[in-house]
Amino acid sequence: MQLKKLAAFLVVLAGLFGGASQAFAADPENTMVITLKDGDVVVALRPDLAPKHVAQIKKLVREGAYDNVVFHRVIDGFMAQTGDVQYGNAKKGYDASLAGTGGSKEPDLPAEFSKEKYVRGVVGMARSQNPNSANSQFFIMFAPAPSLNGQYTIVGTVEKGMELVDKIKKGDAADNGAVTDPDRMVKVRIAADKN
């Protein structure tokens, strides 16, 4: 009997100190899973920082809008950008000349800037010069970028699979990170959903 109690205690401890798996299990409703060619990237979404942005992302995920969308702009040592559901779908009329200029059928969002820092693994919303123009595109940081702090809405953090993000095909530095034959998000889902 004591052995069973000890085993149960160890399982609880593993859950408490399991790092990424803890975040994944802690709030499946606010956990986004991005399947890349090499495996799954787990993102803990942050509705506490950006409730409107996170709600829009989750809506688009649940519609399947992010499935097969490419990483159209990837700058080594900086970030990987994706989420152009209008022009970036690798299976539905992907247009390399327009990728990165589109959004979704949803309205643009008012900025939800925070005091959180742009460090490796942070997920932020892409936007135009207008701070209130974020829509569906987001980027994942390869490295810290203090110049982005307080300027772009943070929506989450990679909790597991950052080594897979590091493998995303990089773009041409001379062409602002534009990627020829880019990698894509094969499937994106919310962990709470069964599919």
DSSP H or E stretch at residue 185: strand 184-185
Stated pTM of the model: 0.86
Q: State the pLDDT at residue 101.
A: 87
- The pLDDT score that the predictor gives to residue 22 is 40
Q: What is the pLDDT of residue 26?
A: 76
> What confidence score (pLDDT) does residue 13 get?
39
Question: Residue 191: its pLDDT value, please?
Answer: 97
pLDDT confidence of residue 195: 65
State how far the Cα of 118 lies from the Cα of 144, in Å rounded to an integer: 6
Buried residues in 75-104 as b, exposed as e (16+ CB within 10 A) = beebbbbbbbbbbbbbeeebeeeebbebbb
Instruction: Check residue 23 and give its pLDDT.
Output: 43
Please report the pLDDT score of residue 97 as a whole number.
83
User: Which residue ranges make up each domain of the chain?
Assistant: 29-190
Question: In the chain, which residues have pLDDT < 70?
Answer: 1-25, 195
pLDDT per residue over 127-159, tens digit each?
999 999 999 999 999 999 999 999 999 999 999
Q: What is the pLDDT of residues 72-95, one digit of tens each?
A: 999 999 999 999 999 999 888 778
Beta bridge partners of 160: 42
Residue 152 CB: number of other CB atoms within 10 A? 22
The CATH code of the domain at 29-190 is 2.40.100.10
